[in-house]
């Protein structure tokens, strides 16, 4: 994708399949929560300003939750699209009973604001690598 600087652009992608396993045997409710840091491009040697795209520009859509062989049915498991935050929030929620393994194939959508800058150069502008925008996504199962 080439940024044009005049309009918001969206970059999308799909993850490989995830498997979520509740092996507790209790059937108690469980939740997969997620949070993300803001996307940052580290300051370079020529460009010394850290650049940022905030976490809420990222949306994760877990997709359809399917039960693997031997698991309780996936009915009652919710997995709506989630606009990310730096604060943990529910991504996938299961009321009981939901024992076993469940599969999802999430997709990701990053909205890049019109005024976003490209990444910073790590060294000499135009002849060195760029410091990419990076974010850390943290998932918690409880």
Q: Using one digit for the tens of pLDDT, what is the confidence trace for 38-87?
A: 999 888 777 788 889 999 999 999 999 999 999 999 999 999 999 999 99
Peptide bond into 138 cis (omega under 30): no
Q: Give the separation between CA 142 and CA 133, rounded to whole angstroms.
A: 30
pLDDT, residue 1, reads 62
Confidence at 12, pLDDT banded by 50, 70, 90: very high
Q: Give the separation between CA 13 and CA 126, rounded to whole angstroms.
A: 28
Domain range annotation of the chain: 9-141
Unique residue bearing structure tokens 């009973």: 97
Query: Among 65, 71, 121, which Cα is nearest to 93's?
Result: 65
């Amino acid at each position: 994708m080439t940024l044009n600087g005049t309009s918001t652009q969206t970059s999308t992608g799909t993850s490989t399949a995830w498997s979520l396993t509740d092996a507790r045997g209790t059937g108690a409710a469980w939740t997969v929560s997620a949070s993300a840091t803001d996307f940052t491009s580290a300051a370079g040697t020529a460009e010394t300003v850290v650049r940022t795209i905030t976490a809420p520009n990222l949306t994760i859509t877990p997709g359809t939750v399917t039960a693997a062989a031997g698991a309780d049915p996936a009915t009652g498991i919710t997995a709506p699209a989630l606009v990310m935050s730096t604060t943990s929030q529910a991504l996938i929620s299961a009321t009981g009973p939901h024992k076993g393994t469940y599969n999802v194939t999430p997709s990701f959508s990053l909205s890049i604001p019109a005024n976003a800058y490209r990444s910073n150069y790590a060294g000499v502008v135009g002849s060195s690598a760029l410091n990419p925008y990076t974010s850390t996504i943290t998932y918690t199962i409880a």
